[in-house]
A and B are shown apart, each in its own frame.
Chain A
Amino acid sequence: MRLVIRQDYDAVSYHVAKYVKERIKEFAPTANNPFVLGLPTGSSPVGVYRNLVKFHQAGELSFKHIVTFNMDEYVGLPRDHPESYHSFMWKHLFKHVDILPENVHILDGNAKDLDLECHRFEEKIDAVGGIELFLGGIGPDGHIAFNEPGSSLNSRTRVKTLAYETIVANARFFDNDITKVPNLALTVGVGTVMDAREICVIITGAHKALALAKCIEEGVNHMWTVSVIQLHPRGMVVCDEDATLELHVKTVNYFKSIEKVHEQLIGSDNVGLQGGVRSWGGVGATTYHQ
């Protein structure tokens, strides 16, 4: 996997947004071949969305041929509740850009048959040919989406009961009343995320430092579900300096040096978007740091 370290939250947000924009540009989506994006909610992606909106407003990025799948949604919360993930995505991204409403897919937490809803969601992903790039955040307990510790690393989209810790943490959005916090959610599974052709996890802040260390320096473990990124052929973590606080100095130095090598030795022009070297003094070898 690649670990890209940037100075702070804003720099991370800009880097990820720019990466998404360049990936889409390179892909050159059309109506028949749209770019399928997996999207998270929470505080990690807010800066990314802000930058994507800026790119769109500057005319550099159109969402017309982009299909999106969100990771999760609360069960039983009305769709227009200000804390629903529908509202979150509308407020931070969809209302500012030209995405087509029929290309937006968010799990329906009010479906009569929740299991069928999850099944259908997986089918919709298959129908568009799978997810090209899945963005994600991470919880302090190393979870991706609502795949709390103990989730199967092969899981699919399903209903999950939220851990008590999560409910308490979320109470701040529900008038500090834990009885108002939904205790069930629909979420994509760890397996669903792994099926994407590329994964990019955004990890910022000192409170995520331990989770980051557990996920990339220790083994693949269902207690830290993001650790499964170690098994993905195209996994990338973008983090800020604060999130590296629990990593070994050796780890941080290694990943920083790769970037330096790319810049100085190979030249950033010759580095492909996904880390490959395009040309090296005539030798046509392609290497990937994954």
Chain B
Amino acid sequence: MQYPVALQLHNFISAPSSPEPSTPLPENTAKVIKITNCRVLKDRKIVEKDAIWIQDGKIIDPHKFFWYQKRLPDVVLDAEGLLVVPGFIEAQINGAFGVDFSVPSDQETYDRGLMKVSRGLLKYGTTSYCPTIVSSSAAVYHQVLPLLKPRPGSSDSGASILGAHVEGPFINEARVGAHELKVLQASANNGFQDFKNVYGFEGDTPEAQRKLSEENLHSVKIITCAPELDGVMESIPDLVKAGITVSVGHSMANTLQAEKAVSQGATFITHLFNAMPQFHHRDPGVIGLLGSRLDLPRPYYGLICDGIHVHPNSVKIAYDSHPEGVILVTDAMSAMGLSPGNYQLGNMDVTKEKDRVVIEGTNTLAGSVITLDACMRNFIQFTSCSLIEALEAVTLHPAVLLGIQDSKGVIKPGADADLVFLSDDLYVKRVFVAGQEVDLGTIHV
């Protein structure tokens, strides 16, 4: 064979825009799983007949795997055409399966309760959540918050815990909801320091202060507060700087105050419509944030989508006015997930029916028992939104709210392999946590 004379190429070659690896990639021999034959929610679109590659509990780029490592997957699983989406993220849940996060106990009991919920929630597609603590005394926070440090999930221990959602106690007693009046804090005149004292962010000695401060701060992911209380508005920037998501809720704020809270850094509204003044056309209050014309983006808003806490038409109105902001939450209480019957939960006697719970002998709702996947199905029904919008309301939106969208709530290389397989009618069929399939049959709660 004749070969052409070598050309002087250095003048003509355009520089590559990203360098190729000059040394061979280190051998990563960890097992690679390929899930084939799935419809995948990827890059905000649904891709038909696609596949997902997983290694070391994360989603990987199959391109690099095939071309550089030159390997075939070790395990190939067939999704049988199911819709595969990121695991759901729950931003507000007070308990479930008889467990109440706001009731302090010794670490072992508390951990057992947490694991019961973490595992049980997988059945409904939730793979990450923020255990929510209702307004409590400082003593309770000091006991409970250190036990709620974020931790990754696994197919054995269940959903990952993202940190606590402390709903209160800096909330307005006029909108106390189901919380106890006597533990509310009427003001935060010392600003951020008051928050630190109540939640136990600081201890006695400087060393304990620093340690607790770091430990407890990491335990708190979301704080719901009423910005119109003295001192709360000014504290918002400090809270945001400490890495906490600030949410407006249980509040009597007028629209001006609510908008100021958003300018100060609040990015969420806790269960829109509930525990806030009704919509009034001349002063829409917190609900008015959905019509805000600030330079800042409008905040996300939580919606309890059981059709009971918020009328379906109200859900649609909120969605129509601000579709990119919707985050579905359950705000479920400890009776969620229990089979119908009478229970004594904390100091309440309740009757759980199939999809609601009432104070025993009455028709008064004792809270929400909806599950997050049911919220999503209801949401599509109430608003006629697209499938992708409904899915993003429980995946991408909460992930962005909490700043974790590189690892949760998305299917892309580098993200945690928390996956939910849904049937066509959007029921949970299979669940993966950190790249391992969960045996849903072994979860008994």
Contacts and interface: CB of A to CB of B under 8 A. Distances in A.
Interface in A80-106: 80-81, 86-87, 90, 94-96, 98, 100-102
B72 interface: yes
B18 to A, nearest CB: 5
Given A79-B20, A102-B70, A115-B6, A182 B14 contact: yes
Interface string B181-197: 00000000000000000
A18 B145 CA distance: 64
B63 A101 contact: no
A158 B66 CA distance: 25
Contacts of A119: 3
B12 A101 contact: no
A119 B66 CA distance: 24
B72 A77 contact: no
A156 B1 CA distance: 8
B20 A98 contact: no
B6 A79 contact: no
B18 A76 contact: no
B9 A159 contact: yes
B67 to A, nearest CB: 6
B6 A76 contact: no
Contact-residue size bin, chain B (C-beta under 8 Å from the other chain)? 20 to 34
Interface in A44-97: 57, 75-81, 86-87, 90, 94-96
A95 B51 CA distance: 8
Secondary structure class of chain B's binding surface, majority of residues: loop
A90 B66 contact: yes
A76 B14 contact: yes
B112 interface: no
A112 to B, nearest CB: 9
Contact of A76 (B1, B15, B72): B15
Interface string A152-167: 0011101101000000
B34 to A, nearest CB: 9
A183 interface: yes
A75 B9 CA distance: 11
Contacts of A252: none
B72 A100 contact: yes
B347 interface: no
Interface string B1-31: 1111011010011111110100000000000
Of the listed residues B7, B13, B70, the one surrounded by the most CB atoms of chain A closer than 10 A to its CB is B13
A97 to B, nearest CB: 10
Contacts of A95: 51, 62, 66
Contacts of A77: 16-17
B42 interface: no
B391 to A, nearest CB: 23
A79 B61 CA distance: 13
Given A101-B71, A114-B9, A156 B16 contact: no
Contacts of B71: 101
Contacts of B13: 75-76, 184
B44 interface: no
B72 A98 contact: yes
A110 interface: yes
Interface in B273-298: none
A246 interface: no
B311 interface: no
A122 B12 contact: no
A102 B71 CA distance: 8
A154 B62 CA distance: 38
B64 interface: yes
B20 A110 contact: yes
Contacts of A155: 4
Interface string A256-273: 000000000000000000
A253 B3 CA distance: 42
Contacts of A183: 12, 14
Nearest to B49: A96
A78 B51 contact: no
Nearest to A80: B63
A100 to B, nearest CB: 6
A266 B20 CA distance: 56
Interface string B60-88: 01111011011110000000000000000
Contacts of B18: 78
Interface in B251-272: none
A107 to B, nearest CB: 13
Contacts of A114: 9
A113 to B, nearest CB: 9
B2 A101 contact: no
A99 B15 CA distance: 32
Of the listed residues B1, B6, B17, B61, the one surrounded by the most CB atoms of chain A closer than 10 A to its CB is B1
B74 to A, nearest CB: 13
Nearest to B34: A95
Given A100-B72, A101-B67, A183-B14, A156 B4 contact: yes
Contacts of B14: 75-76, 182-184
B66 A94 contact: yes
Contact of A79 (B37, B62, B67, B70): B67
B69 to A, nearest CB: 8
Contacts of B3: 115, 118-119, 156, 158
Contacts of A96: 49, 51
Nearest to A114: B9
Nearest to B36: A96
Contacts of A122: 1
Interface of B: 1-4, 6-7, 9, 12-18, 20, 37, 49, 51, 61-64, 66-67, 69-72
Interface of A: 57, 75-81, 86-87, 90, 94-96, 98, 100-102, 110, 114-115, 118-119, 122, 154-156, 158-159, 161, 182-184
25 contacts: A57-B37, A76-B16, A79-B63, A80-B61, A80-B64, A86-B63, A87-B63, A90-B62, A94-B66, A96-B49, A101-B66, A101-B70, A101-B71, A101-B72, A110-B20, A114-B9, A115-B4, A115-B6, A115-B7, A156-B1, A158-B3, A159-B7, A182-B14, A183-B12, A183-B14
